[in-house]
Amino acid sequence: MSDPFSIASGAAGIISLGLEIAQGLYQIAGAIGSAGLEVRTYAEEINQFSKLLDQVKNELTQSANVSIDLQSLIKDVMDVCNRVLTPLDCLQKTLKPLLVRFKSSPGKFRQLGLRLQWVFSSRDKLLFYREVLKGQHRILDTTLQVMILQTTRDRSPQHISIMQLFLRNSMSAVDQSHSEDRRTGSRLLSQQSLPERLEATRGIHTVNDTIDMTLRVVSSTSHSTPSEENVGLVRLSATSTQLSEGLSSQEVEAIDMQIEKDLSSESPESAHDLWLDMGSMQRKALRLASQALHSSQGAGKEGDKPSTPQHRSDPDFEMPVLFVCPPTNTHGPVVDGEIIYLNGTDESLAATGSNLRVKRALEDQLYTQEVGTANDEGSTWVNLLNELQRMEHDSMAWEKEEYNKEEDRTGEPNPDGVPAVWFQHTMAAALQKQRRKWDTMPSNVKRPYAMTTISYLIEMAAMLGLYWKVFDRSEDKYRAEGNGCMLTGTAVPELGLVFKFQVTGKRRFRETRLIPADEVRNLCFGVVPTIYQHPNDKEGTELLSQQPLDLSVLRLGSQREIAETLELIGCNTNTCNLFLDETKNVKHLFPVVFEILGMLSPTFQTPGSIFTYLPNPTNKAWDKRSASLSTLLAVYIEHLGLTFREAYPNPVVTEVLINHGHQIFQHNPGNSEWTGSKVKWLGALHEAICDCDQVLTAKANTGTPQIRRQPGNPSQETPRQTSRRRVVQDVLKFHLQEVLKALNKGDDQIKNSSNSPTFGDVEDKVCFQDIAEAETDRRQEIFMELYFQTVRFSACRATEAVESHRKHRRIRRGSIPTKDDSTEPSSPALSMTDQHRGSVIDASPSDMRDMQLSLGEAVSSSISVGKRSLSEEEVGHVDVWHTLIFRMICWLSLHEFNSLDVQVNKSELLGSQMPVYIL
């Protein structure tokens, strides 16, 4: 049996190899643009595995009593990983010279990128290696948790219970993977041997479902066989690009042969043994983890604890464990511990003041520390608790004051009264207390600390109005600033990641406090749920942090994540690459990414409340001075009113949008003559968005458009809803492509990009350059004129062409779609000439209001009575485009962002349980 130091030495070699492979794959992914998304996924997983193995190595060298069984398991994991990483190393060394070789030929380089995209997403051997590496990652994580549990110096019951919880969570992942692998293995042994299946997967030819299932080694629904469409893509690419100096058949064959050679380091027989060995290692890891849990059950008893050092005058201290949850939550990280919510009430202040020595000083808006012993001096988590209490106290007091002002201004009491603010919240800071012994403290820590997780800390920082300026995980350097506070973090030996909280100036917790909704927490990490999210997906943040597979979740925290989101929507490669090039323009009145946010994101604002601020989930700043949303809405309604002269398939949708626009404008606080209610204005925005969602999802309204948790009620889309979602995705895709293409074209190219007779002569068209050259008060008008004249036509025309192509393809295949599973009807207005085109900007505000009133009377009588739901209406592409633009304006009006808040990429930390400490 090898000693720990020889194992650590071997681990260092594998870590170095893994980091080298990850770096090589990152370079390949960056070179081939959006086609390299799958390559980048491999690089990230290998990089994370290498970092985890490095943690295990450090724990192994620092601990003197790691069991022989654990050492043996670590060595087995290293042996397996060496067998997996070797072919991947050969592959990345083969591919990098090819990129240099074909770089001078755009056609060949583009085809090579498509081929690599297929290899990393569908090549069975590569998927097999990837799944084996994931399995070893889970085993290694469980091994690390066992080592920490067995060797930790802190043997207090509270700390042991937390370590046990981490271990159980890790065991659960291994156990689930083992159960799935065992079921898959049974099918493999009963149907066909793994060696035969490995042989059968050579080349790029389509294979049957039985062969494809083996080497992917995932759940039965995770991956299907390489589809006809994917294989066709590679072959079609080869055919089409040969006309422009594409890869020759000899070059394609040589590349395939070399890739096959690199991936064939494992014989079919050894691959089969590797599969069986992984199952054995999973069982061994679960057995050792169970033994560690059992042996730690009695930890922390009085007889097991070392005596308290004599130089400590106060041997015990109470450590706060902080977390974020809904106020109705009854379970915290400390088992059976009392949950204290930091809501600024007298009861909460009394509880934290007596148990955690926190002194209230709300009356004079200053906070001071009064500590019971010298041990508490300088504990910055005391300031953090104070500010969390103050945030809730001040913001609720401000909201009540605003309600009273509104009653005085309108002369009538609010019909709903002042809301029971705290009970409406679904996001709150809370704590539990743990009793600690001084002898368990690291030698370099001289005062008590608080404990939380990295994800909870990020959420609490957002609640206090802090924005991350530095978030460097590789160097362990962190700094967040804002609203008179600062949070800094770094790694401390023997403890881990440690943060300090400071009050640096005046704090303000009034209108800018975050909307206290649980779903807002996702936005702190750049992850945005959408109106297409399934209700059962909202029960676990782990689903949101995974790579999105459909429109249910968007990731917008970095340029690359935005590019991946555009690819998920269906945008072409050129459009996706615009976000990867810092020199390209992706902003008009505001960054284009906020259009996506406003069109697809659910409503976070709580009806009846007046808090409207959200954490910015994008890496682009929102500047409210750059665009007047109220003016934009007014101009939109003017343009939309003229569409009644066009032969749209469903005027009901247009009438509904115009009527909502009138109601919003009537209550708009930005109106100079406004004496109305802000609550009613927010309510009008809610109702408008709710009706838009019915049009966009084909789902009937069940209340406010907020996200709702519906445990045990999995969502099943009807064919009609699936069809509607497809139409919306197509319209959105071509809308974004047209906007981003126009933003990055010259004037002549923009004006010649659309030759539709529907919108008049080319000379009269406006372009985005006209917006930049216009006066401030004219920019919204030009923007909306451009959208209605050019963008609307181009997007809807392209969508109609795609739909027509799909129908013809289904007819050729002999499948005649029914009414339920066919797409929505197209918009005949696109083939008509617009005889009534002219400037709509000349209408006066009074004329606009008269027009809104006359056009809105019909919908007020037909829709409000509920005779027909909007979800039942048949809509066309132009109806969908109108609804998306209207929803975007309403959503952005309903929600606000701080101009200093810019997202730093950290989506992978959503729901992370990595412990951090606050000194």
Q: Are residues 636 and 740 in the same domain?
A: yes
- Residue 886: CB atoms within 10 Å: 29
**Which amino acid is present at 287?**
R
Q: Are residues 587 and 562 in the same domain?
A: yes
- Domain presence at residue 356: yes
**Between vectors from CA 811 to CA 809 and to CA 816, what angle results, nearest 5°?**
125
Q: Are residues 167 and 267 in the same domain?
A: yes
Number of domains the chain is built from: 3
Q: How many residues does the chain have?
A: 919
- DSSP single-letter state for residue 554: E
Q: Are residues 188 and 330 in the same domain?
A: no
Q: Are residues 237 and 374 in the same domain?
A: no
Q: Are residues 727 and 829 in the same domain?
A: yes
Element (H, E) at 502: strand 496-503
- Domain presence at residue 164: yes
**695 compared with 178, residue with greater pLDDT:** 695
**205 compared with 660, residue with greater pLDDT:** 660
pLDDT tens, position by position, 612-664: 999 999 999 998 888 889 889 999 998 888 776 665 667 888 889 999 998 88
547 band by pLDDT with thresholds 50, 70 and 90: low
Range scoring the smallest mean pLDDT among 100-114, 401-415, 646-660, 793-807? 401-415
Over residues 423-430, the mean pLDDT reads: 86
What b/e string do you get for 679-714 counting C-beta neighbours within 10 Å, with b at 16 or more?
bbbbbbbbbbbbbbbbbbbbbeeeebbbbeeeeeee
Q: Tell me what pLDDT residue 503 has.
A: 92
Between CA 233 and CA 119 the distance in angstroms is 12
Say yes or no to pLDDT of 229 above 70.
Answer: no
13 band by pLDDT with thresholds 50, 70 and 90: confident
**61 compared with 722, residue with greater pLDDT:** 722
pLDDT tens, position by position, 287-329: 888 888 888 765 544 444 433 333 334 446 778 999 999 998 8
- Domain presence at residue 901: no
873 band by pLDDT with thresholds 50, 70 and 90: confident
**Residue 851 CA to its chain's centroid (Å):** 41
Between CA 561 and CA 528 the distance in angstroms is 12
- DSSP 3-state assignment of 50? helix
Q: What is the DSSP string of 824-849?
A: PP--GGGGS--TT----TT--HHHHH
Between CA 38 and CA 644 the distance in angstroms is 47
Over residues 14-22, the mean pLDDT reads: 90
**Which amino acid is present at 383?**
N
Output the six-digit token pair for 38: 């799958």
- Domain presence at residue 302: no
What b/e string do you get for 905-918 counting C-beta neighbours within 10 Å, with b at 16 or more?
bbbbbbbbeebbbb
Q: Tell me what pLDDT residue 230 has.
A: 39
Backbone φ, ψ for residue 305 (5° rounding) = -90, 135
Output the six-digit token pair for 217: 């080694």
Q: What is the DSSP string of 783-819?
A: HHHHIIIIIHHHHHHHHHHHHHHHHHHHHHTT----T
**Nearest Cα to 555, choosing from 880, 910, 893?**
910
Q: Are residues 258 and 329 in the same domain?
A: no
Say yes or no to pLDDT of 724 above 80.
Answer: yes
Q: Are residues 364 and 343 in the same domain?
A: yes
Between CA 639 and CA 631 the distance in angstroms is 13
Q: Tell me what pLDDT residue 291 has.
A: 87
Between CA 892 and CA 899 the distance in angstroms is 14
Q: Looking up tokens 């709150």, which residue turns up?
A: 428
- DSSP 3-state assignment of 85? helix
Over residues 205-210, the mean pLDDT reads: 32
pLDDT tens, position by position, 270-283: 667 777 788 888 88
Are 84 and 129 spatial neighbours (Cβ–Cβ below 8 Å)?
Answer: yes
Are 884 and 464 spatial neighbours (Cβ–Cβ below 8 Å)?
Answer: no
Between CA 280 and CA 505 the distance in angstroms is 58
Q: Which of 261, 295, 329 represents a domain boundary (last residue)?
A: 295
- DSSP 3-state assignment of 753? coil
- DSSP single-letter state for residue 417: -
Between CA 87 and CA 85 the distance in angstroms is 6
Q: Tell me what pLDDT residue 828 has.
A: 40
Are 642 and 426 spatial neighbours (Cβ–Cβ below 8 Å)?
Answer: no
Q: What is the DSSP string of 169-223?
A: HHHHHHHHHHHHHHHHHHHHHHH--HHHHHHHT-SS----HHHHHHHH-S-TTT-
- DSSP 3-state assignment of 490? strand
Q: Are residues 323 and 289 in the same domain?
A: no
- Domain presence at residue 308: no
Q: Are residues 413 and 446 in the same domain?
A: yes
Q: Are residues 743 and 609 in the same domain?
A: yes
Q: Tell me what pLDDT residue 279 has.
A: 82
Between CA 639 and CA 878 the distance in angstroms is 13
- Domain presence at residue 756: yes
Are 635 and 841 spatial neighbours (Cβ–Cβ below 8 Å)?
Answer: yes
> Does the reported pTM lie above 0.85?
no
Say yes or no to pLDDT of 903 above 70.
Answer: yes
Output the six-digit token pair for 792: 């609307």
What b/e string do you get for 506-536 counting C-beta neighbours within 10 Å, with b at 16 or more?
ebebeeebbbbbbbbbbbbbbbbbbbbbbee
Q: Tell me what pLDDT residue 573 has.
A: 92
Q: What is the DSSP string of 120-137?
A: HHH-HHHHHHHHHHHHHH
Between CA 23 and CA 16 the distance in angstroms is 11
Of 60-69, 384-393, 640-649, 850-859, where does the model show the most confidence? 384-393
Q: Tell me what pLDDT residue 902 has.
A: 94
Between CA 746 and CA 731 the distance in angstroms is 24
Average pLDDT of the chain to the nearest whole number: 75
Q: Are residues 669 and 700 in the same domain?
A: yes
pLDDT tens, position by position, 24-76: 888 888 888 877 888 888 888 898 899 889 888 888 877 767 888 888 888 88
CA dihedral sign, ordered 809, 812, 818, 824: positive
Q: Where are the strands (E) in 231-344, listed by range?
A: 316-325, 340-341
- Domain presence at residue 899: no
- Domain presence at residue 365: yes
Q: For the chain, count helices (H), then strands (E).
A: 30, 11
pLDDT tens, position by position, 152-191: 877 777 778 778 878 888 888 888 777 766 554 444 333 3
268 band by pLDDT with thresholds 50, 70 and 90: low
Query: Domain residues for 653?
Result: 527-712+720-894
Would strands 477-482 and 467-472 be described as parallel, antiparallel, or unpaired? Answer: antiparallel
Say yes or no to pLDDT of 889 above 90.
Answer: yes
Between CA 846 and CA 823 the distance in angstroms is 40
Q: Tell me what pLDDT residue 918 has.
A: 94
